[in-house]
Amino acid sequence: MGYQSDWLYRLIVREISTTLERAKSVAYEAQQPERILVSEYAAADWSYPRCVGEQIRQWVFEGNELHPVDPSHAICNPEEDGVFFREVTFQFHIRPDRRRVAFTYAFGPRHGHGVIFDVLGQGQSGRLEQNREMPQWVS
């Protein structure tokens, strides 16, 4: 099953869209990022939510869709432009049993979040719910 048709990837894309909408409400239009990079990783540090290990896939996020890019050519430029970096990053790791997702993002030097989601249900009834008992970080 490819990521384009996988219901769990669609939930992750929905979470990215929701997070971006919340960020737009606190930033001026002129401070929107030039590019949004999304990376899937081979592993996660569950004790401090972050993605580790090899980068499996990378996309540019445009129009609520993922567009594949070669990870060796998609270098993130962390240059600041007001509230946001010029290129913001989302990273995630899906645990092999597909019951948990590590999810992080960095919009700027003082605007990021790392969280662990539990995957509840599957298919059209599936949803991501933040695990309140697991650690998270906010900057």
Q: Which helix (H) or strand (E) holds 7?
A: helix 7-24
pLDDT given for residue 1 in this prediction: 44
pTM: 0.87
* Enclosing domain of residue 90: 3-29+38-138
> Cα(50)–Cα(29) distance, rounded to whole angstroms?
29
Residue 58: strand, helix, or coil? strand
> How many domains in the chain?
1
Instruction: Give the model confidence (pLDDT) of 58-100 as tens digits.
Output: 999 988 888 898 776 555 555 555 667 778 899 999 999 999 9
> Cα(100)–Cα(118) distance, rounded to whole angstroms?
5
